[in-house]
Amino acid sequence: MLPFIIRRLLVSIPLLAVSSFLVFVLVANSGDPLEDLRLNPRVSARVVELREQELNLDKPVIVRYGIWVKDIVRGDMGTDNAGVPVRPQLTRALGVTMRLVIVSLMIAVGLAILVGVISAVRQYSIFDYSSTFASFLFFSLPVFWLAALLKEFGAIRINRLFDRQLVYTIGQESVDFQGGFLARLGDIAGHTVLPATTLILISFAQYSRYTRSSMLDVLQSDYVRTARAKGLAGRRVLTRHALRNALIPLATVVALDFGAVIGGAVVTERVFNWRGMGTLLIQGVQRFDVNVVQAWLLVTATVVVIFNLIADIAYAYLDPRIRLG
Amino acid sequence: MRSKRGVWRLLALLTVFSLILAACGGDDGDETGGGEETETTTEDQKSGGTVILAAEQEPESLNWLTSAHNTAWGSYIMGWVWPGAWYADPKGEKVQNKDLVTSVELTSEDPQTVVYKINKDAVWSDGTPITADDFKYYWEAQNGKNEAYQPAGTTGYEDIESVEGSDNGKTVTVKFAKKFADWDALFDFLLPAHAFAKAGGGDPIKGFNEGFVTETVDLANAVSGGPFKVTDFKRGQSMTLEKNEKYWGKPAFLDKIIIPFITDATQQPAALENKEADVAFPQAQIDLVQQVKAIQGITSEIGFGTFWEHLDFNFENQHLGVKEVRQAVGKAIDRQEIVKRLPGQFSDEAKVLDNRIFKPGQDAYKANGAKEYGKRDVAGAKKLLEQAGYAAGPDGIYAKGGNKLTLRITWRDPNPRRQQTAQLLQAQLKEAGIDAQLAPQPSFAFLDEGNFDIALFGWTGGTVLSSNTSIYETDGGQNHAGHSNKQVDELFAKANVEFDQDEREDMMNQIDTLLWADLPTLPLFQVPELLAYRDTIQGPKYNGFQGPTWNAHQWSLK
């Protein structure tokens, strides 16, 4: 196991290097960060020149990349085009995204396993048909439309119904919150419920389909039939043998998905004004801000690599061996 | 079977729940919004309360006067924390901030000298008196003499020779090295020099450039000289302004203004409706405007501000270098139609813009373009082309000496409004025998490069009249058309040192009239802006010159 892990980690270093170079060149060449400044009649050419020097725009791309590498190996993420340090922005954005994504994924996976297993076990029942319908529905809904619907029915109307601010549409917490710990928890929950629901509905749809089909596969397999023939209780067969194997594809998908989603659920974040990794990336790209995009890339790429590794390890761990029950 | 009954029970619950929701939606007849607008004097206004103002940009620095951090919302938010000698009212007239400066006087025209008298009681919120040192710092940071400062602009301040204090620092004498007619537009804000020095670790230059970057700012340094002070700044979320208890002047009515950063304008209507924002000033888009109008309890105002769209004709183009061709283009275009289809969608009050210097609503506005270009005249356009030696070809397109009259319309992509404008122009020009091609560019480089025939873009006007010079004078930095008129140059030279405001405005209108005759550029329309606020708030009013918070110190809850 250990040599396997080490080998994988070693391979990812050149991977990170190449991807960071490609992205750097791409962002650096996609536009001029000082364009607005140049257009502004009140700003003198000398000021523009000085800003250019500050941002190293007068140097060739390779040199700029070299400067970035030199800084990053010391842990210095640099400053963005406006001179604001990148590290605190990244840390904050990561925190925001993690908060949303971890909660949502946990609930989505739990729900998906439940629904997927029941669907598979009670195949072609009303439950199966309705959950299939629901899954396809949520999977096909455009995120921003779902979000708008949720804002209207999940927040505005509910608040009107109860004549209190229960559910919020903007931000992670109330701006001017005063109150005890429990009240604060309630406030955070009120802010998290809509964006989490959006993410959950869409992820759950995907995962429950995986669970269902892989569960169906497993339930048809020989060893399950053998276990039943040996007289094991139905539920024991399900939980100790079938489920564990059925979860393998799901584990792989979730692990890979986590890597993707830590890059920021861009649309959800934008619609609910959660300034997380997705927003950071979009802003970085729009402003042609190399340091920001590179920092984002490092985090996301590292997470993807690690979670790929975890998926492989989990797969090895879950490899089916029937234990004598 | 057990599971079947469970399913039906669940269905029943869901039905009941959705019926409840449906009953609560729909007509809310018991909303109490929509009472009559009563004109109250400020004496009747109630003190206290909190207003939530949604900001579309998050300032990167509390000091928005640097070239790196120059955002509109920076000035909107800090305008009443660091106010200066004046602010603009909705008509663009300068209102003296009498709390700060008891008098402002041009005491001598030659050498130009302006004397400000600071209120004896004026203090920053940490107790330090406001003095000429603060004026001096404001000047030094923006005069362009010290390269280390990175101001967003130096206009006017670069013409000042010295700023001296006397009378315990309460009298400020500003001497100009070069005459600057827009002297009354200077010192529109004031920065606390001592706090900036402290924020820069003792270096006032560092303080200016970096000391108030919101990621790292120490709010204790953000001392206030106005009715509000900054009490909180949560990066990525919001900031808070509270009433400045140390303000010596007329206090604000509100206790607090909370400013969440809702950077996606399309999310602001839902925030207004869900009471997560009370006032909003999002970029006006037609769907957004309609959404906001539909919210009960919210009043929305469409205003036409200082950002205006126009066409620039490249004099290097063989066709557009000829005056008759430009005039023909001007006559062939139906500006009324463009206004109706674009800004007219937002408000019936959208008008064609007939003046390059002033805006409708300003006293000095004269519709100088209305006479010749007020109404579309295709026949007149064709006649002008024929006068210039062009003849219509079999496809209806004019040509001269074998060169077809083909012109590219260029704008910076992506911009749906400009794309629509260009498409309308193309159709209109075709009817007059001019072949217009759409040629958008991915960046504004085309302006400096001269890589365009007809350029479609915008300028931001304002109260500093002399900033128009570089757009229209010979070889001016913003004169992308490449136009040159000696009379215009002379008038600018005179107007920029003319202290009589009426005379000056008259000269500006003369310049505009000459520009209408030469037609190097063709003004189209002002871009509409939206201000939305809750009915329970008294005071918010659209101001294209100063922004939505221009009178935030006079806002109150009803």
CATH number for the domain including B372?
3.10.105.10
Residue B401: HSE in the Cβ half-sphere, 13 Å Cα cutoff: 4
End-to-end CA distance of chain A: 27
The whole-chain average pLDDT of chain B stands at: 90
CB contact under 8 A, A41 and B152: no
CB contact under 8 A, A156 and B21: no
By CB atoms closer than 10 A (0-12, 13-18, 19+), residue A74 is exposed
Select the residue of B147, B234, B442 nearest A46 (Cβ to Cβ).
B147
For position A248, what pLDDT does the model report?
A: 83
Q: Are B513 and B506 in contact (CB under 8 A)?
A: no
Q: Are A281 and A296 in contact (CB under 8 A)?
A: yes
For position B13, what pLDDT does the model report?
A: 59
Q: Are B345 and B436 in contact (CB under 8 A)?
A: no
CB contact under 8 A, A151 and B274: yes
Question: Which residue range is the domain that position B432 belongs to?
Answer: 307-527
Q: Provide the pLDDT confidence category of residue B33 given band limits of 50, 70 and 90.
A: very low
Contacting residues for B512 by C-beta, under 8 A, at least 6 apart: B355, B356, B357, B358, B366, B368
CB contact under 8 A, B213 and A32: no
Stretch B427-449: mean pLDDT, rounded? 91
Residue B5 domain flag: no
Residue B489 domain flag: yes
Stretch B381-390: mean pLDDT, rounded? 94
Select the residue of B4, B213, B443 nearest A83 (Cβ to Cβ).
B213
pLDDT of A2 higher than 90 = no
Residue B400 domain flag: yes
Q: Which helix (H) or strand (E) holds B401?
A: none
Q: Provide the pLDDT confidence category of residue B147 given band limits of 50, 70 and 90.
A: confident
Helix (H, G, I), strand (E, B) or coil at B492: helix
Q: Are B64 and B74 in contact (CB under 8 A)?
A: yes
Report yes or no: B554 at the A interface, CB cutoff 8 Å.
no
Q: Which chain A residues are closer than 8 Å to B215 by Cβ?
A: 84-85, 88-89
pLDDT of B27 higher than 70 = no
pLDDT in tens, B15-26: 555 554 444 433
Determine the residue among A40, A81, A169, A281 to mutate to test chain B binding: the one whose Cβ has the most chain B Cβ atoms within 10 Å.
A169
pLDDT of A220 higher than 80 = yes
Select the residue of A88, A165, A170 nearest B260 (Cβ to Cβ).
A170
Q: Provide the pLDDT confidence category of residue B118 given band limits of 50, 70 and 90.
A: very high
Residue A219 phi, psi dihedral angles, 5° rounding: -65, -25
Report yes or no: B67 at the A interface, CB cutoff 8 Å.
yes
CB contact under 8 A, B215 and A148: no
Instruction: Compute the distance between CA of residue B221 and CA of residue B557 in angstroms, rounded to an integer.
Output: 30
Stretch B158-180: mean pLDDT, rounded? 95
For position B34, what pLDDT does the model report?
A: 33
Among A57-61, A170-174, B154-158, B333-337, name the most confident range. B333-337
The whole-chain average pLDDT of chain A stands at: 87
Q: Are B85 and B101 in contact (CB under 8 A)?
A: yes
CB contact under 8 A, A84 and B150: no
Residue B435 domain flag: yes
For position B381, what pLDDT does the model report?
A: 95
Stretch B198-225: mean pLDDT, rounded? 94
For position B413, what pLDDT does the model report?
A: 86
Stretch A202-220: mean pLDDT, rounded? 91
Q: Which chain A residues are closer than 8 Å to B150 by Cβ?
A: 47, 50-51
CB contact under 8 A, B153 and A82: no
Select the residue of B154, B214, B448 nearest A44 (Cβ to Cβ).
B154
Q: Which chain B residues are closer than 8 Å to A44 by Cβ?
A: 144, 154
CB contacts under 8 A, B 238-267 vs A, are 238, 240, 256, 258, 260-264, 267
Determine the residue among B8, B67, B70, B296 to mutate to test chain A binding: the one whose Cβ has the most chain A Cβ atoms within 10 Å.
B67
Which residue would you say has higher pLDDT here, B227 or B27? B227
Report yes or no: B20 at the A interface, CB cutoff 8 Å.
yes
Residue B408 domain flag: yes
- Closest residue, chain A, to B26 (C-alpha): A157
CB contact under 8 A, A161 and B240: no
Stretch B38-54: mean pLDDT, rounded? 77
pLDDT in tens, A42-58: 677 888 888 888 889 98
Select the residue of B210, B238, B267 nearest A175 (Cβ to Cβ).
B238
User: Which candidate, B459, B463, B483, places its Cα nearest to that of B473?
Assistant: B483
CB contact under 8 A, B467 and A88: no
Q: Which chain A residues are closer than 8 Å to B237 by Cβ?
A: 171-173, 175, 275
Instruction: Compute the distance between CA of residue A251 and CA of residue A285 in angstroms, rounded to an integer.
Output: 32
Place of tokens 């925001």: A96
Place of tokens 């257009």: A39
Q: Are B526 and B305 in contact (CB under 8 A)?
A: yes
CB contacts under 8 A, B 467-526 vs A, are 467, 470-471, 477-478
Report yes or no: B17 at the A interface, CB cutoff 8 Å.
no
pLDDT of B127 higher than 80 = yes
The whole-angstrom distance between A116's CA and the closest CA on chain B is 16
- Closest residue, chain A, to B214 (C-alpha): A84
For position A323, what pLDDT does the model report?
A: 35
The whole-angstrom distance between A171's CA and the closest CA on chain B is 7
Determine the residue among A34, A94, A175 to mutate to test chain B binding: the one whose Cβ has the most chain B Cβ atoms within 10 Å.
A175
The whole-angstrom distance between A229's CA and the closest CA on chain B is 26
Instruction: Compute the distance between CA of residue B469 and CA of residue A73 in angstroms, rounded to an integer.
Output: 50
- Closest residue, chain A, to B464 (C-alpha): A42
Instruction: Compute the distance between CA of residue B260 and CA of residue B240 in angstroms, rounded to an integer.
Output: 8
CB contact under 8 A, A50 and B147: yes
Q: Which chain A residues are closer than 8 Å to B470 by Cβ?
A: 41
The whole-angstrom distance between B328's CA and the closest CA on chain A is 29
pLDDT in tens, B296-325: 999 999 999 899 999 999 999 999 999 999
CB contact under 8 A, A85 and B216: yes
Select the residue of B24, B68, B261 nearest A83 (Cβ to Cβ).
B68
Q: Are B325 and B497 in contact (CB under 8 A)?
A: no
For position B7, what pLDDT does the model report?
A: 63
Stretch B470-498: mean pLDDT, rounded? 92
Residue B412 domain flag: yes
Residue B415 domain flag: yes
CB contact under 8 A, A161 and B24: yes
The whole-angstrom distance between A316's CA and the closest CA on chain B is 37
Tokens standing for B98? 């009498």
Select the residue of B213, B445, B467 nearest A41 (Cβ to Cβ).
B467
For position A259, what pLDDT does the model report?
A: 80
Integer-rounded Cα radius of gyration of chain A:
25
For position B225, what pLDDT does the model report?
A: 95
Report yes or no: B296 at the A interface, CB cutoff 8 Å.
no
For position A324, what pLDDT does the model report?
A: 32
Q: Which chain B residues are closer than 8 Å to A279 by Cβ?
A: 263
Instruction: Compute the distance between CA of residue A325 and CA of residue B279 in angstroms, rounded to an integer.
Output: 66
Tokens standing for B383? 């006649």
Stretch B267-284: mean pLDDT, rounded? 93
Determine the residue among A46, A48, A165, A170 to mutate to test chain B binding: the one whose Cβ has the most chain B Cβ atoms within 10 Å.
A170
Report yes or no: B215 at the A interface, CB cutoff 8 Å.
yes
The whole-angstrom distance between B210's CA and the closest CA on chain A is 8
Select the residue of A46, A89, A175 nearest B258 (Cβ to Cβ).
A175
Residue B181: HSE in the Cβ half-sphere, 13 Å Cα cutoff: 23
Number of domains in chain B: 1
In chain B, the largest separation of any two C-alpha atoms, in whole Å, equals 101
CB contact under 8 A, B471 and A41: yes
Residue B170 domain flag: no
- Closest residue, chain A, to B50 (C-alpha): A176
